[in-house]
Chains A and B, each alone.
Chain A
């Protein structure tokens, strides 16, 4: 069943067209990667889905309901969790406190003044941390963790709202190569196990081709290819864009230099 559908999204900043008639669909339990060179409109598309940007035209449908132009916090309440390119967590809190906070927000109890925050949803938070392999670090201040671990906690925070859809903006940016594979495997397991759809942008092609079910290639705001990894990999247009004219020339130059 279609979980997320983007229909002909358009967005221009001044004269720069960042997204032009971008359409795609995402099913439950599916991982869809958006790739493309810098400035291709990945983040713009992503932010239009997440509610950070309102499209100039077009619609975003979540399980059939129109969520176009809704603010992020409303999008969250409709079942969309998200992680950021630079991890966003509550630095003054512990690892556990971060997840508890997300649970408090999910249950709509942020205005309560009687209960003690640290006593609420402890077990649920620990269970979420266990799922991302961070239960052992629960009591540490989140600022002390290695960046790869922070990203895992961020995933637990996003999962606290029992999302149907996860938006992950460059989930492995800034991580060590070994941590990357582990995180992406974790995301894939959770997504497939629970039928959560995952939309992610990524620069790391290993992560994309290893885990995405489908790939959407954006160039200058337009979708130039879409399909399963093998198909996208074989696409001549994609190869040209990714290797690029200048890349192609550099390769030629290097070969000539090597062969005298």
Chain B
């Protein structure tokens, strides 16, 4: 490898770092001020690219000049900034008082809606953008050719950093942004017009995302999958840099850019993993990122978000639970094959959602990556059957073991963090697991996965398999529910309510959380193993972000403050999804809209609504 090659590699790393920084700086600013983790930031990025591939060719009809190219890019970013304002006015404004998890879920609802809107407006085919006039040539650097446009991009990052610095230090708006990032309550108490500040910040954030997207059009083809791939990278950058810190985001983007550029030479197989490993390593050493600050603790004692009371089943609850179990057992007798399939899936998702709420509701451990353990259970079972030739029974035993083992491994690092950093680390580990299953083609079959994961002969009929699933899932939920009521469950709630008090009475909160994470991972793994056999196949979507979000939606729909809400939520969510999907091609749009409506109308979920009903009666 000669020097020129290394230099060019490093420069191309800087070029991607630059783009990544522009996007991530918007995300980190919005988080700093509003404390909302905006999943839709990736959608703004995608919209920026789509608007630019439409606008720039139209401008080129007048004149193919570099000036018009960049006018088009800036105009696209402005349009996206306007959309950010729209989102703030219509949605976020109603969400600031809602628990963090709901905010996140609502922004994910926006992601789904934008995905469908983009497909509807621009179609499913990738669109290649025009190249930038005047920058189409290559530049000779130490005997290597390097695209001039990339060279320009390298300059964009520092330029944006400089402009943001000026904005943050020389304007009133910028100083307010910094103040709100440090202490939002104080800024409110000082009489600052928060609404205007938030709207302005969303404009700036969306503008930066749109700018990042628009600048990509000469480099990559624009597609409707751009949003989720960029949002995870942008999350990683903001988390490594420290949420809310713009210089931190710059530092992290440069690090990641270089890691990618050289990582691809040394470990071409695991490029996706490298980035998340870096993030995990940084968070273990610096739990608030490179340049972040610890979250300022609220001065007052607040009721925790999660399970508040653990009443025993009364007569009504026993009757409802009995009826639900009876209904599930009667489906193979009364319903058709399709009904049995749906019922089987509901049982599986109910166990997975229940295990997630064991963490979120009972332990205050908000995991964004619970699908990882579900998927790893599925892969363990699926691979043992198809590659090792084992029958279903041992494979089904291996599924929870695999889920628990990986949860124990990842959880060891996860429980060292709290709040949003914890959530982001669970997301990172889930992405690592996803990346391995996606890239390790020889073993996992890559994107296509593996087919032929069939149950043993005795369980091959839909009805028998349904009873097997029912037995596993109902027992699993019953056992986990028992743990919630046991000293271990109470200890988790205690550590969630007040870490200081838990410490002072001699509780080792971290170890208990780690055990809980492992237990929940095991239960999710069992659910995943059952799912693999019910589908007959495994593929990477079983560990992907959308499934993790589905699980979160289930527990929020059910209500995280109740013990059994997750089960009702899983049933309702799966039924809604199953109802919309065949009806229309635009099911994502309706699903997203339903999630947003749920957050706005039912902030305490079905379980909360039931509790209110019982409380009144």
Contact = CB atoms under 8 A, between A and B. Distances in A.
A105 B498 contact: no
Contacts of A6: none
A158 interface: yes
Contacts of B402: none
Contacts of B301: 86-89, 91
Contact of A76 (B304, B310, B494, B506): B506
A219 to B, nearest CB: 27
B370 interface: no
A240 interface: no
Contacts of B308: 92
A111 B310 CA distance: 18
Contacts of A88: 301, 498, 500-501, 504
Interface stretch (B168-176, B469-477, B482-490): B482-490
Contact of B497 (A71, A76, A90, A114): A90
A41 interface: no
A8 interface: no
Nearest to B306: A92
B128 interface: no
Given A89-B498, A92-B303, A101-B494, A112 B505 contact: no
A88 B495 CA distance: 11
B485 A116 contact: yes
Nearest to A120: B487
A92 B486 contact: no
Interface string B566-585: 00000000000000000000
B309 A106 contact: no
A104 interface: yes
A157 B504 CA distance: 10
Nearest to B507: A105
Contacts of B493: 90, 92-93
A92 B307 contact: yes
Nearest to B490: A117
B512 interface: yes
Interface in B485-536: 485-491, 493-494, 496-498, 500-508, 512, 515
Contacts of A84: 500-501, 504
Nearest to B309: A92
A76 B485 CA distance: 25
Nearest to B496: A92
Contact of A90 (B487, B498, B508): B498
Interface string B295-330: 000000111101111100000000000000000000
Contact of B488 (A93, A112, A157): A112
A82 interface: yes
B494 A109 contact: no
A97 B504 contact: no
A143 B490 contact: no
A102 B487 contact: no
Contacts of A89: 301, 497-498, 501
A90 B494 contact: yes
A36 interface: no
A146 interface: no
A122 interface: no
A115 B487 contact: yes
Given A92-B306, A93-B494, A112 B486 contact: yes
Given A90-B498, A91-B303, A91-B498, A77 B485 contact: no
A238 to B, nearest CB: 31
A81 interface: yes
B337 to A, nearest CB: 38
Contacts of B494: 90, 93, 101, 105
A115 B485 CA distance: 8
Interface residues of B, number: 34
Most buried by A among B310, B494, B504, B506: B504
Most buried by A among B303, B506, B512, B515: B506
A198 B304 CA distance: 31
A117 B497 contact: no
A81 B512 CA distance: 21
A91 B308 CA distance: 8
A109 B301 CA distance: 27
A161 interface: yes
A225 to B, nearest CB: 30
Interface string B327-356: 000000000000000000000000000000
B130 to A, nearest CB: 56
A110 B507 contact: yes
Contacts of B507: 73, 105, 110
A104 B515 contact: no
A17 to B, nearest CB: 24
A113 B309 contact: no
Nearest to B299: A86
Nearest to B491: A110
A160 interface: yes
A229 interface: no
A215 B487 CA distance: 41
Nearest to B500: A88
Contact of B304 (A92, A97, A116, A120): A92
B504 A158 contact: yes
Contact of B482 (A97, A113, A118, A143): A113
Most buried by B among A87, A89, A105, A110: A110
A160 B303 CA distance: 24
Interface string A203-233: 0000000000000000000000000000000
Interface in A144-162: 157-158, 160-161
A148 B491 CA distance: 25
Given A90-B497, A116-B485, A105 B503 contact: no
Nearest to B499: A88
Nearest to B304: A92
B503 A114 contact: no
A81 B504 contact: yes
A195 interface: no
Nearest to A167: B504
Contacts of B508: 73
A81 B304 CA distance: 24
A111 B498 contact: no
Most buried by B among A82, A92, A120: A92
Contacts of A82: 504
Given A92-B304, A112-B486, A106 B515 contact: no
B503 A73 contact: yes
Nearest to A92: B308
Contacts of B310: 118
A87 B300 CA distance: 10
A58 interface: no
A101 B490 contact: yes
A110 B510 CA distance: 13
A69 interface: no
20 contacts: A50-B504, A71-B503, A84-B501, A90-B493, A90-B497, A92-B304, A92-B307, A93-B493, A97-B490, A100-B490, A101-B490, A104-B487, A104-B490, A110-B488, A110-B512, A112-B486, A117-B487, A118-B490, A157-B505, A158-B504
| 7 pairs of A and B residues whose beta carbons are closest in the complex | A88-B501, A117-B490, A76-B506, A110-B491, A90-B497, A72-B503, A112-B487
Given A91-B301, A104-B491, 12 more contacts: A73-B507, A84-B500, A88-B500, A88-B504, A90-B498, A93-B493, A105-B505, A106-B506, A110-B487, A111-B488, A120-B487, A141-B309
Interface of B: 301-304, 306-310, 482-483, 485-491, 493-494, 496-498, 500-508, 512, 515
Interface of A: 50, 71-74, 76-77, 81-82, 84, 86-93, 97, 100-102, 104-106, 109-118, 120, 141, 143, 157-158, 160-161
